[in-house]
Each structure stands twice: as C-alpha cells, then as structure tokens.
C-alpha cells in the first residue's frame, strides 16, 4: 500500500468526447487500485462539464480535475473540421501551460495540503507526443494511451511504409477502392484501400493532409513513450497487438475499459443525456428497436439525413436516433420536423444525446447503426448488439471493416449512404441469426478477457504494477 500511495498519475486526453470517456474509465481503474489521479482537462471543457461534474470530482477521494488552455478563442466551435487547428493550438499554447503545470506538480512536496503528492507518471493521449516528451524532460516517465483500435494504430504506423512501397498515394489516383492493401502487416487478407483513413483517398504525391500527417507522426513518436496502452483485447485484435509489440517499448491491451470499470468515478459527458429515452425503450418490444448514433464529432448533410430517414422508415422498425444539436448545421430544425412527420407518433424518438451504454444494454435494442468510433464499436461488442456501420473518418474506416469482414458481428455500409442500402443492412442486422450469433459469441469472448484471470484483467494488473515501478 505504501507503493500505491506513492503513485500519482496525471492523465491528459485530447479534449474530445470519445477520448474523455475512455480516459475516465481508465482513471476509475487506477483509483480502484489505490492510485492518485490528476485528470487534466482543457479550460473550455472543464467549464462545459458544469458545476455538478466538477463538484463530484472534488468529492471523489484521490481524484482531482485540473485544466490548461486549449489555445483556441472561447467562441471557436471546436467542430470536426477544426481538429487540425485544435491539435496545433494544443501543441503550442496548451503544451506551454502543461509544461508549467507539470513542473509545479512535480516539485510539490509531501506537505501539499490537498493530500496530492508529486506527480510520478503521465499517461497522455497517444496523439499528443509533446505530452510525453515534456514529461520525460521534466523527469516524469510517460505512457502513451491511444483510444483507438490496435489495427488502426498499426495502419497509421504503416503509412510511411505504404508510401515507400508505392501503395500510397493510391497509384491510379484512387481508382478502385476495393484493391487490397498489402503493406500493413497481419491485415493482408482483409484490408482494402477504402478501409484506410479516409484522408488517404485525397493524397497526391505525399501524405500531406494535416490531420493524417499529425496522427502518423504521433504514432511513430509513440515509440519514444515508455509504453503504448490500448483499449482493446487480445481476443479482438491479437495479431495487430503482436505486430505493435515488436515496434513499441511495451504494449498493454487493457480493454474494453468501460466494461472493466463500469461505474465511472464521475461524469465527463459534454452533452446532457436525454434520460426520457430509457422510459421510451421500456415500452418497446424485445429486440425491436434500431438505435442510431454517429458519435460526438460526425456531421452529415441534409441529403444524407434524408437517405437515412427514408431507409429507416422503409425498414419498418421503431428507432431511437441521436441527432446532436451541431450535427446538421442550419438544416437541423427542418430535419427534426421531417423525421417526426415521416415516422408518426410513438414509432421513433429523436434525442440530442443518449446514455449510450444503457441504451445498448436495453433488451429492446435490436441493432446499432454506428459511425464505428472505437468507443461505440467496443460498447456494441460488449453488449452483443449487431451493428450496421457507416464510418465517417480517421480510424472508423478500419473499425467498420473489422466488424463487417473479420468479426462478422455486423454489416458495413462504408461509402454508401442510400436509402435502399440503409433499409437492407438494417433489416439484415435485425433479422440475421448468424450475425446475432457472432455478436453474442464475440461478447462472451470479451467477457472472458475482462473476467478475473482473463487477458485484459491480467494486462491491467501488469500496467498498474508497471506504473508503480515507474513511480518508485
Ligand atoms: C472519436 C473518434 O471519432 C473515434 O473514432 C475515436 O475512436 C475516438 O474519438 P467519437 O467520434 O465521439 O470519438 O466516437 P466514439 O469513439 O464512438 O465515442 C463516442 C462516445 O460518446 C461513446 O463512449 C458513446 O457511448 C458516447 N455517446 C455517444 C453517448 O454517451 N451518447 C450519445 O448519444 C452518443
């Protein structure tokens, strides 16, 4: 226990919902193991979380929330098309504030009146290499935590090799997106051009897209961190984990963390849940409802919305649809009216934000139409819910391929957003015994991984031991 008291981890996610959730579950696991945790938000998000969340954190033993500026003006919408700008601001203004803060937290003596001893280890988002470089400069060992799949990390890591091999940019300017990709180890049997991050499609003579470039660089730089931690399991992604282990100083596969630490210490939701949807689900028949959610960043056009809506109506099942207030831009209100008029009273519910994990666990939910964000993917896997995938960007293209072609627990719409496709894939996901069976088998497999003695449970223990050793 003396060792546990020493270990004080500063966790630092990028300020996006999926990353916050993932880091929160990780922090909850650390708190349970007896460690102290400083959760570093951005000033903007800490304000947005609201007083209740801040007070809950303040009242949680051995946890505290602190913040640094993200470097953007207050009125910046922090939307998905501004991600490169956010990453840039974080790595300059944010990094400078983080350096000062960490230096002061490192110096703090045992006499600190809030019970927090000096920070002994940093676990930083795997897309922010500055965070581990600065920590190491200040004498604090640092681990990189990538909140995405092992397969997508391996694909990003392989981008320079794909360029060397002439597989990127796509030789025929994109040409046939169904062409196989050979240069990502272990994925030769299923990876196609269309499964690589979507930015790869618009590359010309080099991989110049700013977001892709930043993520590839961060992935390569993860080799410098003491270890790479991933929210996945050996049974879901064993081959990719084995390849990554050859490249990194150490690799920990400790997921799905939301299932290992199901009751998070505090809330980190940037939107208010609409709890009314749970009562609505209570009134629906077993496995009758389609749940649609495209995560916290996806934006869609009015045309895409209309295709989804017509496809869903034609499929004929009741549905629960999360339409975030910033998802459709100016046409949001018109879209809502359209949805309500098309469906009729009681057959569907549209909400701005839902308690997703509770929704997926609900007996009325029959399938999950998702953008294939990694958190949503593993949440669906854990609950054994068949998925229909319509990936938007970044790692999501690979995740949907895993679901559709490797695990078989769902169907991949990928680049098609047409009403017939929506109707057909939703029907199949709702009705196919085979997909349901594979989804159930996968869920059982992951349940074994996180149970006592399972691979992820053992890896989490090994990680806590590793952090304690780094902290001593
Ligand atoms: C982003 C990327 O898109 C994703 O691919 C990457 O893996 C992590 O960062 P996001 O797009 O938000 O995340 O998707 P996802 O990873 O699925 O995270 C969304 C989170 O919000 C999930 O934990 C989900 O449970 C939660 N959520 C979503 C809600 O709680 N309510 C909702 O209504 C919708």
Choose which residue among 295, 321, 391, 395 to substitute to test ligand 1 binding: the one with the highest number of ligand atoms within 8 A of its C-beta. 295
Which residue's CA lies nearest to atom 3 of ligand 1? Answer: 373
Handedness of CA 155, 161, 162, 165 (dihedral sign): negative
Report the alpha-carbon distance of residue 302 to residue 295 in Å, rounded: 17
Distance 296 CA to ligand 1 centre (A): 5
Report which ligand 1 atom has the smallest distance to the Cα of 324.
Answer: 33
Q: Evaluate whether 159 touches 216 at the Cβ level (below 8 Å).
A: yes
- The answer to whether the CB of 147 is under 6 A from ligand 1 is yes
Q: Evaluate whether 429 touches 460 at the Cβ level (below 8 Å).
A: no
Which residue's CA lies nearest to atom 20 of ligand 1? Answer: 18
Task: Say yes or no to pLDDT of 209 above 90.
Answer: no
pLDDT tens digit string along 244-262? 999 999 999 999 999 998 7
Distance 17 CA to ligand 1 centre (A): 6
Please state the ipTM of this predicted complex. Answer: 0.98
- The answer to whether the CB of 323 is under 6 A from ligand 1 is no
- Mean pLDDT for 304-317 is 93
Residue identified by tokens 């199901």 is 262
Distance 102 CA to ligand 1 centre (A): 28
- The answer to whether the CB of 357 is under 6 A from ligand 1 is yes
Helix axis angle, 234-247 to 433-450, nearest 10°: 60
Other Cβ atoms within 10 Å of 455 Cβ, number: 19
Of 4, 2, 116, nearest in space to 62 by CA: 116
Report which ligand 1 atom has the smallest distance to the Cα of 149.
Answer: 7
pLDDT tens digit string along 381-402? 999 999 999 999 999 999 999 9
Choose which residue among 126, 296, 299 to substitute to test ligand 1 binding: the one with the highest number of ligand atoms within 8 A of its C-beta. 296
60-63-65-68 Cα dihedral, nearest 10 degrees: 180
pLDDT tens digit string along 189-202? 999 999 999 989 88
- Omega into 169 within 30° of 0, i.e. cis? yes
Residue identified by tokens 């270890």 is 227
Report the alpha-carbon distance of residue 305 to residue 327 in Å, rounded: 10
Percent of the chain exceeding pLDDT 70 equals: 96
Beta bridge partners, 40, equal 66
The CA–CA distances, whole Å, from 272 to 233, 294, 354, 399 equal 30, 16, 8, 27
The mean pLDDT value of the chain amounts to 92
Q: Find all residues with CB under 8 Å of 238, minimum gap 6, and list them.
A: none
Which residue's CA lies nearest to atom 4 of ligand 1? Answer: 373
pLDDT tens digit string along 57-106? 889 999 999 999 999 998 998 888 888 899 999 999 999 999 999 999 99
- So which residues are the catalytic ones? 19, 125
Distance 72 CA to ligand 1 centre (A): 22
Report the alpha-carbon distance of residue 471 to residue 119 in Å, rounded: 9
Distance 373 CA to ligand 1 centre (A): 6
Q: Is 103 exposed, middle or buried (0-12, 13-18, 19+ CB in 10 A)?
A: middle
Q: If pLDDT is split at 50, 70 and 90, which confidence band does 174 have?
A: low
Task: Say yes or no to pLDDT of 15 above 90.
Answer: yes
pLDDT of residue 204: 73
């Amino acid at each position: 226990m003396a060792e546990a008291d020493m270990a004080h981890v500063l966790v630092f996610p990028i300020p996006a919902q999926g990353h916050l959730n993932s880091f929160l579950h990780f922090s909850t696991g650390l708190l349970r193991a007896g460690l102290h945790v400083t959760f570093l938000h951005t000033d903007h998000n800490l304000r947005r979380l609201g007083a209740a969340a801040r007070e809950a954190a303040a009242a949680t033993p051995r946890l505290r929330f602190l913040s640094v500026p993200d470097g953007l003006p207050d009125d910046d919408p922090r939307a998905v098309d501004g991600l490169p700008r956010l990453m840039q601001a974080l790595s300059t203004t944010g990094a400078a504030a983080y350096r000062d803060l960490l230096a002061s937290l490192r110096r703090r003596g045992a006499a600190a009146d809030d019970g927090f001893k000096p920070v002994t280890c940093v676990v930083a988002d795997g897309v922010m290499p500055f965070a581990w470089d600065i920590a190491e400069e200040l004498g604090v060992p640092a681990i990189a935590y990538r909140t995405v799949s092992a397969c997508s990390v391996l694909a990003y890591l392989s981008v320079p090799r794909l360029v060397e091999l002439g597989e990127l940019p796509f030789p025929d300017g994109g040409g046939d997106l169904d062409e196989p990709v050979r240069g990502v180890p272990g994925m030769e049997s299923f990876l196609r051009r269309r499964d690589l991050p979507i930015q790869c499609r618009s590359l010309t003579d080099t991989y110049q897209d700013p977001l892709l470039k930043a993520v590839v660089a961060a992935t390569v730089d993860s080799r410098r961190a003491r270890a790479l931690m991933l929210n996945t399991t050996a049974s879901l992604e064993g081959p990719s984990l084995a390849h990554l282990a050859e490249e990194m100083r150490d690799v920990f596969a400790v997921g799905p963390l939301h299932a290992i630490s199901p009751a998070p210490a505090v809330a980190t939701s940037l939107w208010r849940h609409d709890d009314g949807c749970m009562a609505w689900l209570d009134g629906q028949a077993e496995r009758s409802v389609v749940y649609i959610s495209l995560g916290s960043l996806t934006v869609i056009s009015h045309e895409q919305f209309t295709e989804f809506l017509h496809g869903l109506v034609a499929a004929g099942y009741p549905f629960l649809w999360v339409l975030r207030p910033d998802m459709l831009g100016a046409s949001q209100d018109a879209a809502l009216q359209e949805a309500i008029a098309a469906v009729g009273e009681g057959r569907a519910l549209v909400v701005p934000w839902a308690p997703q994990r509770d929704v997926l666990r609900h007996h009325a939910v029959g399938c999950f139409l998702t953008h294939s964000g990694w958190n949503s993917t593993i949440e669906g896997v854990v609950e054994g819910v068949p998925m229909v995938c319509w990936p938007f960007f970044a790692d999501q293209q690979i995740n949907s391929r895993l679901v559709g072609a490797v695990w078989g627990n769902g169907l991949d719409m990928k680049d098609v957003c047409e009403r017939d496709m929506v109707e057909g894939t939703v029907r199949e996901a709702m009705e196919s015994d085979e997909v349901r069976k594979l989804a159930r088998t996968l869920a059982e497999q992951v349940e074994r991984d996180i149970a006592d003695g399972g691979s992820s449970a053992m890896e989490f223990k090994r990680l806590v031991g590793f952090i304690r050793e780094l902290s001593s």
